[in-house]
């Protein structure tokens, strides 16, 4: 039995539950894309599906709205796939296991994909509705937003007629997003050499961090497991010798790393120094990150004597130097918009291979030159240590539009419905709006959505009453866009 069938709005939660039953992680969107196409075919709606699996579904205007400007509704169909360490779940083949706790919907031990499955559900519910009036609609579902806005970047905007667009990829009810940062993923490759060594193998794991979205939560003083591991390895080296064998942390460049592991070889008589240093630094980290990450834990596990290939001392020094100097977090606040993060970065993925350390960093800024300068800083650091650097997924900032009839109408409707002001804000997280705005002359764009907590983590929760309120508001906005 569908667990959401008795929750309002029924059409929205019906489609959200169907979406959750289909695997739709980034890079695995063919099945969900075909589901959207079949939806359109069953309702005899015109559609476009491109080679990347992006889908557009068109719905004609209702009577009386034939001359109203076309409205674009837009969201992405892919989700971030994270799970609790003790949970067995194959995101490539399995749907999500949903559960309701009070007013909140979540998935059992995994991310929920409310970002941006709720946009897909809203879009399908609107396309399937017959009980309210609206202009002609172009509902755009893009792919692979979470790994660099790839679907939007490859999307052919010539298939769209509308110049009013409502993006449905925000997570705070009562706030209308009207500008966002641009971003790029920076890839650092540090060549390393290895030598044979013997010793007591010790596993060090930093865990218990809050994590979160590297744009939306970067200003909340949340720790990065990758950065903490760099600090631990540096401090450990000041009290005992060790050889680094393995190092890995983080799964997504746009998620603040919650865990990082390292494997070391040490002299048997110095294992106790590793343990005592872990206890000391765990206490220090918990104090440093009080209020955001009080549960930081450094686990040390002895795994017995081992002969193994470890980093050459020079390579090990380079790796630790890189981690100690790699920027993380907020680099600059906006000088023009109070409380807005202007520039930040997040080294979200780190993996030590046999011959190379790879680190991928998400770099964001609402100022293009600042984004480029921060990328160059990491490039200089990487190349100074003999490594290489490249970038991918570069996307522009979405600039604030001074004159916006769409924004003004949405503010007016909100005031009429709730008798309070809609907050109009710029955000630091990246949105696909920037790519559409850059390519579609005269585009008038906004972004809204219901409350979603702890996105990109396995504690993600969707506020169900908020989903209902945003649905009612969205319907009223579409009814109001008659001219």
Catalytic amino acids? Answer: 78, 145
Distance between CA 127 and CA 482 in Å, rounded? 18
- From residue 470, alpha-carbon distances to 122, 171, 248 in Å are 10, 11, 40
235 touches 281 (CB < 8 A): yes
Buried b (16+ CB within 10 A) or exposed e, 409-439: bbbebbeeeeeeebebbbbbbbbbbbbbbbb
Nearest alpha carbon to residue 108 among 459, 467, 463: 459
Tell me how far apart the alpha carbons of residues 472 and 450 are, in angstroms, rounded to a whole number.
Answer: 11
| Mode of pairing for the β-strands spanning 137-142 and 423-430 | unpaired
**Token pair 């949405």 in the structure block, residue:** 410
Give the span between the Cα atoms of 281 and 300, in whole angstroms.
12
**DSSP secondary structure letters along 251-293:** S-TTEE---EEEEEEE-GGGHHHHHHHHHHHHHHHHHHTTTT-
**Cis before 305? omega within 30:** no
The partner residues of 345 in beta bridges, in order of sequence, read 329, 363
């Amino acid at each position: 039995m569908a667990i959401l069938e008795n929750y309002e709005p029924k059409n929205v939660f019906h489609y959200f539950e169907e979406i959750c039953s289909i695997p739709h992680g980034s890079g695995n969107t063919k099945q969900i894309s075909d589901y959207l196409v079949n939806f359109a075919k069953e309702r005899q709606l015109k559609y476009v599906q491109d080679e990347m699996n992006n889908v557009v579904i068109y719905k004609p205007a209702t009577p009386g709205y034939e001359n109203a400007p076309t409205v674009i509704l837009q969201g992405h169909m892919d989700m971030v796939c994270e799970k609790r360490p003790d949970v067995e779940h194959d995101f490539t083949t399995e749907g999500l296991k949903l559960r309701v706790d009070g007013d909140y919907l979540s998935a059992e031990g995994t991310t929920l994909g409310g970002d941006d499955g709720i946009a897909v559900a809203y879009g399908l519910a609107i396309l399937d509705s017959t009980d309210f009036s609206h202009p002609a609609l172009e509902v755009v579902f893009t792919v692979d937003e979470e790994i660099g806005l790839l679907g939007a970047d490859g999307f052919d905007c010539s298939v769209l007629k509308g110049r009013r667009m409502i993006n449905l990829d925000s997570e705070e009810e009562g706030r209308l997003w009207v500008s966002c940062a641009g971003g790029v993923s920076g890839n650092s490759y540090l060549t390393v050499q290895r030598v044979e060594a013997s010793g007591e193998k010790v596993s060090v794991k930093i865990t218990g961090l809050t994590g979160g979205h590297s744009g939306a939560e970067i200003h909340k003083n949340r720790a990065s497991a990758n950065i903490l591991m760099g600090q631990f390895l540096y401090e450990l080296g000041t009290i005992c010798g060790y050889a680094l064998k393995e190092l890995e942390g983080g799964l997504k460049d746009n998620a603040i790393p919650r865990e990082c592991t390292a494997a070391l070889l040490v002299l048997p008589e110095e294992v106790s120094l590793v343990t005592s240093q872990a206890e000391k630094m765990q206490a220090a980290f918990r104090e440093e990150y009080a209020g955001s990450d009080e549960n930081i834990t450094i686990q040390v596990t002895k795994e017995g004597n081992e002969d193994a290939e470890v980093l050459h001392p020079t390579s090990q020094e380079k790796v630790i130097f890189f981690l100690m100097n790699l920027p993380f977090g907020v680099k600059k606040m906006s000088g023009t918009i109070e409380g807005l993060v202007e520039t930040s970065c997040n080294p979200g993925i780190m993996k030590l291979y046999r011959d190379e350390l790879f680190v991928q960093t998400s770099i964001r800024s609402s100022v293009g030159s600042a984004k480029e300068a921060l990328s160059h800083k990491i490039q200089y650091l990487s190349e100074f240590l003999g490594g290489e650097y490249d970038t991918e997924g570069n996307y522009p900032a979405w600039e604030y539009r001074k004159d916006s009839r769409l924004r003004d109408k949405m503010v007016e409707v909100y005031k009429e419905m709730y008798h309070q002001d809609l907050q109009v804000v710029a955000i630091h997280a990246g949105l696909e709006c920037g790519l559409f705005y850059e390519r579609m002359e005269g585009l008038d764009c906004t972004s809204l959505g219901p409350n979603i907590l702890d996105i990109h983590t396995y504690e993600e929760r969707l506020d169900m009453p908020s989903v209902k309120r945003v649905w009612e508001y969205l319907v009223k906005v579409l009814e109001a866009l008659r001219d």
